Structure 1
Amino acid sequence: MTLTVEQNLRVFSYLYRVSRANRSEAIERAIGIANLADRRDTRVDKLSGGMRRRLLIARSLVHRPRLLLLDEPTVGLDPQVRQELWALIDALRAEGTTILMSTHYIEEAQRLADTVLIMSHGSAVAAGPPPELVAEHAGREAVEVYGSPAKLAEVEAAAAVAGLRTRRTGTSISVLGVEGADGRAPEGERRPTNLEDVFVLLTGEEIA
């Protein structure tokens, strides 16, 4: 027999030894946080992939954990469902839950994390709040230059002479930390730097 959402959460309330007096309240809280109230009587095998992911998180909340471990919770989800899970994670943070989460989505780390640990080949290469990591390693502004391989090589060489860091991205090169470069920055499209710039600089890996 396949359980409904509410029945599934009730089973986990037993497994987590939630007291009988608090059980119903704990289940309602988990359903509310995960935004599954309109699916409480739906069988789990009838849920969409995004709803199943929300149920997995709801199951881990019935005993009010102070620490929640999430292993790539949004991998494989479409952008809309990913945004919904981000809202759920924001709600948990607002409640004071500490969340330790792994992710390959740089935007997700920059959007959600108070502190980021960047890993490369199993080793930690940097840690800190995203804004501080970006400011330390990539500065505030970048110039994006597009052109032929020969032109990009010239830009890269000139940036090295000027003491500016660069990031190659296929048909373009990003020159980082150009604020206050006093005329040493090349002509190109200006943009704010971000955590992806830091990741690529420190690991040498491009984001797929």
Structure 2
Amino acid sequence: MPSALSVTALRKSFGDVHAVAGLDLDVPEGTCVGLLGPNGAGKSTTMRILTGQTRADAGTITALGWKLPEESKQARAQMGVVPQLDNLDTTLSARDNLRIFARLYRVPAGERDAAVARGLQIARLTERADALTGALSGGMRRRLLIARALLHRPRLLLLDEPTVGLDPQVRQELWAMIDGLRTEGTSILMTTHYIEEAERLADSVTIVAAGAAVDAGPPSELVARHAGAEVREVYGPPARLAEIESDAHAAGFATRRTGTSVAILGAEGAGDRLPAGETRASRLEDVFVKLTGEEVS
């Protein structure tokens, strides 16, 4: 499948801090790829490079057939960007926010009203079109940000932590919106540190740590490769958990510690070789912790 976005050996340092350290990334056309990693893994720096806010020290980037940064003007004309931070003009109405960006995106004059109406419909804000943006809820404003990025019908959409800070109900609403875009064939790159978000929306996930990809693939394949089919979850006091970890490692099993429990990965068929505990299906969270060493908050 052709790539909507291809990144190879991307590097960016700030003094002694290597924010992006040789990242490889591929977004096939018509798919949603999740860039999943803990805070400080280099996700936002990568997005700033892709959107022209900072220049990489090394590496190659091709977006929609255009090389970045040399041909970034041509690429950006076919890309939509939803930033992590809300930068809507709160003194303008939802409609006027979209009108301004329809002009900036060079939507033809005869098509702007229809583009704005479509954006309001996508954001489900038609009835609140003339309300000041500052009076809208956080979820409404995130929907408006996404709709703004879609005014010129981009082929590639970049979403930087699209649901950060939102409550679960609003997050579910935005997931449905993003999933609809993927179904329509829009290519999407989405950074996130929400495991469930990556599982729900992404056709493929690239897990990053310390600025580099540690593995990539469909969520189900990552789970099968790194965590097996089942996990044995054992609870107990710290000394007992340390003993269980040591025994499991000696027997060739990977583990992850979560507060008052130890999860033993790849527990299917282990039977009595493992201590008694709760057996459950493996999930992407187990893979994330194993590969990044970071617990999920």
The TM-score, its normalising length taken from structure 1, stands at: 0.94
1:121, distance to aligned residue in structure 2 (A):
1.3
Among residues 113, 121, 128, which one is paired with 1:32 in the alignment?
Answer: 121
Three-state SS of the structure 2 residue aligned to 1:178 is: coil
The residue type paired with residue 200 of structure 1 is: V
Deviation sequence 1:157-176 (CA, Å, 0-9, x none):
22223221111112110011
Q: How does 1:72-87 map to 2 (within 5 A)?
A: 72-87=161-176
Structure 2: distance between partners of 1:159 and 1:204: 17
Deviation sequence 1:22-45 (CA, Å, 0-9, x none):
222222222222222221121111
RMSD of the alignment, in Å? 1.4
Three-state SS of the structure 2 residue aligned to 1:74 is: coil
- 1:143 matched to 2:210? The reply is no
Structure 2: distance between partners of 1:101 and 1:73: 8
- 1:111 matched to 2:218? The reply is no
Three-state SS of the structure 1 residue aligned to 2:101 is: helix
- 1:69 matched to 2:158? The reply is yes
Three-state SS of the structure 2 residue aligned to 1:191 is: strand
Report the structure, 1 or 2, having the larger strand content.
2
Structure 2: distance between partners of 1:94 and 1:25: 22
The residue type paired with residue 186 of structure 1 is: P
Report the structure, 1 or 2, having the larger helix content.
1
Deviation sequence 1:86-108 (CA, Å, 0-9, x none):
11101111111111111111111
Structure 2: distance between partners of 1:190 and 1:53: 38
1:182, distance to aligned residue in structure 2 (A):
4.1
Structure 1, unaligned stretches of length 5 or more?
Answer: none
1:66, distance to aligned residue in structure 2 (A):
0.6
Deviation sequence 1:67-100 (CA, Å, 0-9, x none):
0111111111111111111111011111111111
Structure 2: distance between partners of 1:178 and 1:192: 10
The residue type paired with residue 9 of structure 1 is: L
Three-state SS of the structure 1 residue aligned to 2:188 is: strand
Tell me the residue number matched to 1:16. Answer: 105
Structure 2: distance between partners of 1:28 and 1:180: 57
Structure 1, 143-152 or 27-36: larger mean CA deviation: 27-36
- 1:188 matched to 2:294? The reply is no
Structure 2: distance between partners of 1:166 and 1:41: 54
Contact 1:33 1:91 in 2 (8 A): no
1:186, distance to aligned residue in structure 2 (A):
2.2
- 1:47 matched to 2:136? The reply is yes
1:177, distance to aligned residue in structure 2 (A):
1.0
Structure 2: distance between partners of 1:174 and 1:2: 51
Structure 2: distance between partners of 1:2 and 1:102: 29
Structure 1 stretches of 4+ with a deviation exceeding 3 A read none
Structure 1: distance between partners of 2:126 and 2:143: 12
Structure 1, 19-28 or 144-153: larger mean CA deviation: 19-28
Tell me the residue number matched to 2:289. Answer: 200
Three-state SS of the structure 2 residue aligned to 1:6 is: helix
Three-state SS of the structure 2 residue aligned to 1:21 is: helix
Structure with bigger RCO (C-alpha 8 Å, 6+ apart): 2
Tell me the residue number matched to 2:11. Answer: none
Tell me the residue number matched to 1:89. Answer: 178
Tell me the residue number matched to 2:52. Answer: none
The TM-score, its normalising length taken from structure 2, stands at: 0.67
Q: Identity rate of aligned residues, in percent?
A: 65
Structure 2, unaligned stretches of length 5 or more?
Answer: 1-89
